[in-house]
A and B are shown apart, each in its own frame.
Chain A
Amino acid sequence: MADLKYRLIPYGKANNIHVPINIVLIDTKDIAACKINDTDAMKAVAKELAEPTGISIFDMDAVTTTSDGIMIPGAIIKMAAADNGSINPDFGILPMAEIAYSEEIIKEEPHLKQWDANYKGRKLFRGPNPKDKIIPVHNVVITGRASNNNSATEMMNIATMEEILLPILGQMQIMTGGDIVTGYTGEVISVGIGMTVKELYGRVFPTRQFGAGDTAHGSGIYAKTLKKSIPCIVADKSILAKYTLAALKAGMRAGVEIGCSPAVIAVSKAFGAEVDIDKITPKALEELQSIGFTKDFIKQKTEILSEEEIIKRADEIIPGVESLSKIKSTQIVHIKTLKVN
């Protein structure tokens, strides 16, 4: 017998938001320490909690990308959804694909130049390989009422239809006990999560479908309403600023190598990194304009700040999240153990 450690944000109230299902994050090293495999670890958690639960396994030595193409340390390597104490054998577990390093992939996905610049030699995971899944479109696992979608960044109870958005950077903060923000997505995040980059086996899209400067939403003024009222747990904005700056310093440009999300544009402007409006597609621009990121606003020169100043003033520079509440992740995360063999 061994004690498996896992992090739990239980169903119910967490700070100022409602969490629709149990959220469980496990470090792959904690599974290895118990000498069991990932599937057995996830099944043990499913049995222990019994109610709708989303489960993610992390390799903190690997790297991943945010939806707008910012590379960050740590990655989800497997996800599951559990209900009634079990995991559906066909649809309940899905591994993420390891992306092999090659010159070709750096050429096809120029935001991966950050791999060389900032994370050389580390394993890269984003979404699953389509050949590993039966569900045709979404990168989702489902068991009973529980759904863990978009490669474990969006969890839902399909019966109550409640949902929570868990951007990857916020989950990394939970894994490291860092600072997070809880609140509701709002219009800025609703628009921003459509500003993706082309990725093979991406977190949301399996093929290189929507490039930097474009929008996956393509729904004009409706984009800001699509995901505007969803509870979310995100990283403190200073953390988002830090990693966005690391990408900019590695030569990434909004709408060219990385996405043109409001957060990327805002940090770029503050850092004095030019945003080429011509690289943003009319569809993406229409969505940005609907939340105040007009052509004039994007072109307008603002005070150039130092890296340190941007991180310090991230809350006023980066828009997004309504009813925002800054807390330590340890205030809502329970460190638990359960006996496994």
Chain B
Amino acid sequence: MRVMHTKLPDFIDKMKQAVKKNTPQKNITINGLENLKSAKMQSLRTGRIESAVEEIAKKQNVDKVELIVIPRVPETMHTVIVKGIDKDGNCDSAILEVINILHQTEEAYTSGCKNIEDRRPQIGRH
């Protein structure tokens, strides 16, 4: 079971290695994961994304790789925890709220690119 999900730092490292494997002179920038401090990344897709990163990096016209992670469903629902902290650093009181956030979809990041291959499964599938 330990291989079912990938640790966030391992995910990031794997993507860097996938570029360096065949093209050590090329680099990758990763955007969209900055706010995550700890997370488990779906392993099945990690392997596919590694493969995609390697494939894009190997292309002759590609100078560098960008990996951007955005919500697949462009409205995300978040719990907001409003905490009051006492002088000893303990949580004195808290209010839980919710906020829904609207995001751009992939078209905002692929403007002008004519060579797009959509390998995503239908929503709800792995």
A142 touches B77 (CB 8 A): no
Q: Is B111 an interface residue (CB 8 A)?
A: yes
Q: Which of B95-120 contact A (CB under 8 A)?
A: 100, 102-108, 110-111
B residues within 8 A CB of A147?
A: 102
Q: Is B55 an interface residue (CB 8 A)?
A: no
Q: Give the docked Cα–Cα distance between A156 and B100 (Å).
A: 15
B108 touches A159 (CB 8 A): yes
Q: Which of A143-161 contact B (CB under 8 A)?
A: 143-145, 147, 149, 156, 158-159
Q: Give the docked Cα–Cα distance between A233 and B106 (Å).
A: 30
B105 touches A84 (CB 8 A): no
Shortest distance in angstroms between A151's beta carbon and chain B's nearest beta carbon?
15
- The contact of A149 among B102, B104, B106, by CB within 8 Å, is B102
- The contact of B75 among A92, A136, A145, by CB within 8 Å, is A136
Q: Which of A46-95 contact B (CB under 8 A)?
A: 83-84, 86, 88, 90-92
B residues within 8 A CB of A88?
A: 105-107
Q: Give the docked Cα–Cα distance between A135 and B107 (Å).
A: 17
Q: Is A140 an interface residue (CB 8 A)?
A: yes
Q: Is A134 an interface residue (CB 8 A)?
A: yes
B108 touches A91 (CB 8 A): no
Shortest distance in angstroms between B81's beta carbon and chain A's nearest beta carbon?
18
A143 touches B102 (CB 8 A): no
A158 touches B107 (CB 8 A): no
Closest to B122 in A: A90
Query: By the criterion of a CB under 8 Å from any partner CB, how many residues of chain B are at the interface?
Result: 15
A143 touches B107 (CB 8 A): yes
B107 touches A144 (CB 8 A): yes
Q: Give the docked Cα–Cα distance between A271 and B73 (Å).
A: 47
A residues within 8 A CB of B84?
A: none
Per-residue interface assignment for chain B, residues 65 to 79, with 1 indicating a CB less than 8 Å from any chain A CB and 0 otherwise: 000000001110100
Shortest distance in angstroms between B95's beta carbon and chain A's nearest beta carbon?
13
- The contact of B102 among A83, A84, A92, A142, by CB within 8 Å, is A142
Shortest distance in angstroms between B49's beta carbon and chain A's nearest beta carbon?
20
A135 touches B108 (CB 8 A): no
- The contact of A140 among B102, B106, B111, by CB within 8 Å, is B102
Q: Give the docked Cα–Cα distance between A134 and B74 (Å).
A: 10
Q: Is B123 an interface residue (CB 8 A)?
A: yes
Tell me whether A84 and B107 are in contact in the complex, defined as CB-CB below 8 angstroms, given that A135-B74, A140-B75 are known contacts.
Answer: yes
Tell me whether A142 and B123 are in contact in the complex, defined as CB-CB below 8 angstroms, given that A136-B73, A137-B75 are known contacts.
Answer: no
Q: Give the docked Cα–Cα distance between A317 and B105 (Å).
A: 43
Q: Which of A104-138 contact B (CB under 8 A)?
A: 134-138
Tell me whether A136 and B102 are in contact in the complex, defined as CB-CB below 8 angstroms, given that A84-B107, A86-B107, A144-B108 are known contacts.
Answer: no
Q: Give the docked Cα–Cα distance between A45 and B73 (Å).
A: 24
A residues within 8 A CB of B104?
A: 142, 144-145, 158-159
B123 touches A134 (CB 8 A): yes
Q: Which residues of A contact B (CB under 8 A)?
A: 83-84, 86, 88, 90-92, 134-138, 140, 142-145, 147, 149, 156, 158-159
